[in-house]
Amino acid sequence: MDFDLAYLMAQGPALMRGLWLTIQVSLLSIVLSVLVGLLGAAARVMEVPVLDPAVRAYVEFIRNTPMLAQLFFIFYGLPGIGLKLSLFWSGVLCLTLWAGAYQVENLRGGLATVGKGLREASYALGLTPWRFFHLVAAPLAIRVALPAMLNTAISLLKNSSYLQAIGLAELTYVAIDRISMDFRTIEMFAAICVIYLALVLVLSFLASRLEFRLNAPFRH
């Protein structure tokens, strides 16, 4: 059994198309999940009636069920009540809901570090709750929550490979599809492992740069 580099080169364009879809789905879901996280964490920290327990239940449910089952429920189950989404949007919805739950917890943890004294001081200075939130609490909380948030984003990128199970032609799907046709197993796995590792390492590197920059005011 030899390593057929020429074969891999020939499959390059197909793999790149898969990679491109992986990146599209992941980036879109990362942005949306951070939004979900921000709204959810705000609802929880401000103890909005109804919303607070609802967000809590949502987070508990997502964290204690397999993402694969969530995905099948969204893609195969929801049409049963008249909600039919395309492959792509089912994937985005699933990844957003999944990562969103973790982002709520990450951001809530960050907001919890913003002391009560700061809030009282802000109110005493006449800041509205909203201005306190985005001028005082959020900038502090995001710095604390950032490492965990980026970790979740990286997990989301890796979990986008789950979408191959419903047939979205992302990177893993392309590789498995080719393996079942050409049996070039080693080549394909080597390729996608290297690609995923590179993606994760690049994201981790960007994450550490971002952390470094955001911490600038606190460095001595």
Partner 1 sequence: MNPLAGLDLLLKNLPFILQGLGMTLALSLTTLLFVTVLSGLLGIAATLRFRSLRVLVRVWVELFRDIPLIVNIFLVFFVAPLAGLDLTPFWAVTVGLSLWGSANGAEIVRSGLNAVPRHQWQSAAALGLKTWEVYGFITGPQALRAILPPFVGLLTLLIQATSLGALVGVGEFFKVGQIIVERTTMMEGRNPAFLVYGAVLVTYFVICSGLSWFGRWLERRLGRTQSRPAPAGAVASPAPAPQLP
| Cα dihedral sign, 47-49-52-57 | positive
Task: Decide whether 78 or 136 has the Cβ nearer to partner 1.
Answer: 78
Q: How far is the CB of 39 from partner 1 (least distance, A)?
A: 21
Q: Give the separation between CA 66 and CA 47, rounded to whole angstroms.
A: 28
Task: Decide whether 58 or 136 has the Cβ nearer to partner 1.
Answer: 58
The per-type count for the chain, helices as H runs and strands as E runs, is: 9, 0
Task: Decide whether 71 or 92 has the Cβ nearer to partner 1.
Answer: 71
Q: How far is the CB of 157 from partner 1 (least distance, A)?
A: 8
Name the helix (H) or strand (E) containing 101: helix 87-112
What is the contact surface with partner 1 in residues (CB under 8 A)?
A: 1, 60-61, 63-70, 72-73, 76-81, 102, 148, 151-152, 155, 158-159, 161-162, 164-165, 172, 176, 179, 185-186, 189, 192-193, 196-197, 200-201
Q: How far is the CB of 86 from partner 1 (least distance, A)?
A: 17
Of 200, 100, 103, 101, the residue nearest 142 (C-alpha): 103
Q: How far is the CB of 64 from partner 1 (least distance, A)?
A: 4
Q: Give the separation between CA 44 and CA 108, rounded to whole angstroms.
A: 7
Q: How far is the CB of 161 from partner 1 (least distance, A)?
A: 4
Task: Decide whether 127 or 186 has the Cβ nearer to partner 1.
Answer: 186
Contacts of 73 by beta carbon, 8 Å cutoff, 6+ apart: none
Contacts of 99 by beta carbon, 8 Å cutoff, 6+ apart: 29, 30, 33, 36, 37, 152, 153, 155, 156, 159
